Amino acid sequence: MANDGNYKKSKIGDHQLKPETMMMSYGYDPQFSEGSVKPPVFLTSTFTFQTPEEGEESFHIMAGRKPAPEGSVGGLIYSRFNHPNVEIIEDRLSLFEGSECSVVCSSGMGAISAIMLAYLRPGDVIVQSAPLYGGTETLIRKFLPQFNIKTAEFDDGLDEEGMLTALRDAGKKGRVAMVFIESPANPTNSLVDFEALNRVLDSIETETDHRPITVCDNTLMGPIFQQVVPQGLDMAMYSLTKYVGGHSDLVAGAVCGSREMLRPVRATRGIIGLNLDPHTSWMISRSLETLSIRMERAASSGQKVAKWLADNAYISAKILHPDFIQDKTYQAVYMRQCSGPSSTFSFVLDVSKSDAFRLINNLSIFKSAVSLGGSESLVCHPGSTTHSGVSTELRDKFGVTDGLIRLSIGLEHPDDLIADLDNAFKMTFQG
Ligand SMILES: *Cc1c(COP(=O)(O)O)cnc(C)c1O
């Protein structure tokens, strides 16, 4: 699409428009499509060049032999590289994240894979926070080592000294190319202090003359309650399958960052064929219009449910929701980095797996399923599902015990969700 014009309007006079407003218009010009208010789904695999010269120019830009014009990623060529529906959601997602640019992929794991293939080479070390999403754990701990990419981790993202020691130790194995974190982490809501991590990386850069790239999986919060790139990390990564898609009816992912940082990621997406299809991209453009109100409503219901769990009369419960995590350092980092809580959080009961299963079986509104961030509320037992591939030793270390149950609060009325929990707790623990 062309570079400027009214459809990339972001100001009225001096007044900067908010992302919520721009979700309905930014990056799409109705005049290109018969005046259609909403973007059509561009079901085409290829795009005509007006002249062979234009085709040549587009290939120079796509292959990185020439820079793209300011504010553009180059002309349309072929839908594996780019198409209008994906460009629209990349532009709009960048507005929410506050990043210069985004690259959308066919899944969250596709987005992570594109980042890693773009930036890791045999012999490199990747340092991760822990725990990570189960699929990411498998990719880093089981898949990447087959390509001689080494792994290291730090357990506590609030412990600056510990992170520095972990990175120094990792450097003994090879070049530390990347630090991959999840903050808040699923299913424990633990945090990594971005400022502390950046100070650690400053020291590592001084010591080794090389600064590892930082990537944060922002799926649980973003891009509404936490923006990562404006807080000084190199890339934010999203599973759009979760809150952004928001209706449990699609699978997609994204990476946000500077144009320069994302250039190799975009190239990798094209080379290995990870672009998202036009129809799913269109569904995400629709989801983005309601993202902010959905996440706000879900978060406020989540706070009510967390409070009910904390005060429940049936059994003592530890609530892994930011409103109920008392640690001072945690609270300071939470207040600095986030503007609200995710509606996905866990609670921990001192019970056996079979009691945890009985409780889940006694729920009727909450559906028992993996995933999160949809319009319907879900309940999940991570120890036996999403984190079952993680060793018992690691699970114990991160507190993913048999009595840990994760909720993803959706858009039902909070009173009904609380009634469902009250009934299930009564049946399970007073029955
Ligand atoms: C779901 C999820 C992913 C993987 O995304 P997919 O879209 O399923 O590939 C990565 N990170 C987190 C935190 C997730 O919840």
108 within ligand 1 shell (Cβ under 6 A): yes
CATH of the domain at 219: 3.40.640.10
Nearest CA to ligand 1 atom 5: 108
Give the tens place of pLDDT for each residue, 250-260: 999 999 999 99
Task: Look at residue 71 and tell me if it is in a domain.
Answer: no
Q: What are phi and psi of 408, to 5 degrees?
A: -120, 110
Please check whether residues 280 and 426 belong to one and the same domain. Answer: no
Domain contains 17: no
Q: Whose CA is closest to 229, among 253, 256, 202?
A: 256
Residues 296, 276 share a domain: no
Which of 270, 285, 300 is where one domain is finished?
285
pLDDT at position 159 is 97
111 Cα–ligand 1 center, Å: 9
Q: Is the CB of 218 under 6 A from ligand 1?
A: no
| CA contacts within 13 A on the Cβ side of 91 | 25
**Same domain assignment for residues 105 and 216:** yes
Report the separation in Å between the CA atom of 201 and the middle of ligand 1, taken as the mean of its atom positions: 26
381 vs 118, 307, 351, CA distance in Å? 34, 20, 13
The CATH number linked to 374 is 3.90.1150.10
Q: Are 281 and 371 contained in the same domain?
A: no
In a domain, 333, yes or no: yes
Instruction: State the total domains in the chain.
Output: 2
| pLDDT value, residue 55 | 92
Q: Of 227, 254, 285, at which residue does a domain stop?
A: 285
To 5 degrees, how large is the angle CA 287–CA 369–CA 153? Answer: 85
Residues 379 and 414 in one domain: yes
Task: Establish if 75 belongs to a structural domain.
Answer: no
Ligand 1 centroid vs 288 CA: distance in angstroms?
18
Domain-located, residue 72:
no
Q: Which of 242, 243, 342 to mutate to test the pocket of ligand 1 (most atoms within 8 A of CB)?
A: 242
- Cβ of 219 closer than 6 Å to ligand 1, yes or no, is yes
Q: Considering only CA atoms, which of 152, 135, 291, 176 is closest in space to residue 222?
A: 291
Q: Is 273 left (phi over 0), alpha (psi -120 to 50) or beta?
A: left
Assess whether the C-beta atom of 138 lies below 6 angstroms from ligand 1.
no
Whether residues 236 and 300 fall in one domain: no
Pocket test for ligand 1, best of 129, 188, 216, 241 (most atoms within 8 A of CB): 241
Question: What is the structure's pLDDT at 67?
Answer: 85
Q: Exposed, middle or buried, 426 (CB in 10 Å: 0-12/13-18/19+)?
A: middle
Q: Please report, for residues 206, 248, 392, 413, the alpha-carbon distance to residue 375 in angstroms, rounded to integers and kept in the order given.
A: 47, 7, 32, 11
Closest residue to atom 11 of ligand 1, CA basis: 133
pLDDT value at position 431? 67
Rounded to whole angstroms, how far apart are CA atoms 54 and 62?
A: 12
Reduced DSSP (H G I as helix, E B as strand, rest coil) percent helix, strand, coil of the chain, to 5: 45, 15, 40
Q: Indicate whether 195 and 327 sit together in one domain.
A: no
Do 264 and 310 belong together in one domain? no
**Interatomic CA distance for residues 416 and 412, integer angstroms:** 7
Task: Assess whether 347 and 272 both reside in one domain.
Answer: no
* Atom number in ligand 1 closest to CA 372: 15
Q: What is the pLDDT of residue 387?
A: 84
Q: What phi-psi label fits residue 226: left (phi over 0), alpha (psi between -120 and 50 degrees) or beta?
A: beta
Would residue 271 count as lying in a domain? yes
pLDDT tens string for the chain (431 positions)?
434 457 888 999 999 999 999 999 999 999 989 999 999 999 999 999 999 999 999 989 888 888 888 777 778 999 999 999 999 999 999 999 999 999 999 999 999 999 999 999 999 999 999 889 989 999 999 999 999 999 999 999 999 999 999 999 999 999 999 999 999 998 899 999 999 999 999 999 999 999 999 999 999 997 999 999 999 999 999 999 999 999 999 999 999 999 999 999 999 999 999 999 999 999 999 999 999 999 999 999 999 999 999 999 999 999 999 999 999 999 999 999 999 999 999 999 999 999 999 999 999 999 999 999 999 999 999 999 988 877 888 888 888 899 999 999 999 999 999 999 999 999 999 86
CA 186 to ligand 1: nearest atom: 13
User: Looking at residue 1, what is its pLDDT?
Assistant: 40
Pair 264, 318 in one domain: no
Same domain assignment for residues 369 and 408: yes
* 56 falls within a domain: no
Alpha-carbon span 233 to 213, nearest angstrom: 8
Please report whether residue 14 resides in a domain.
Answer: no
Residues whose CB is less than 8 angstroms from the CB of residue 37 and which lie 6 or more positions away in sequence, other chains included: 30
Q: Of the candidates 242, 258, 285, which is a domain's last residue?
A: 285
Q: Residue 105's closest CA among 370, 291, 289, 284?
A: 284
- Residue 344: give the domain boundaries: 290-430
Shared-domain flag, residues 279 and 304: no
DSSP 285: H
Q: Any residues with CB less than 8 A from the CB of 146 and at least 6 apart, and which?
A: none
What spacing in Å lies between the alpha carbon of 112 and ligand 1's midpoint?
A: 9
Q: In what order do the strands lie in the sheet with 253-257?
A: 101-105, 253-257, 235-239, 213-217, 176-182, 125-129, 150-154
Phi, psi of 102 (to 5 degrees): -140, 155
Q: How far is the CA of 106 from the centre of ligand 1 (A)?
A: 11
pTM for the full model?
0.95
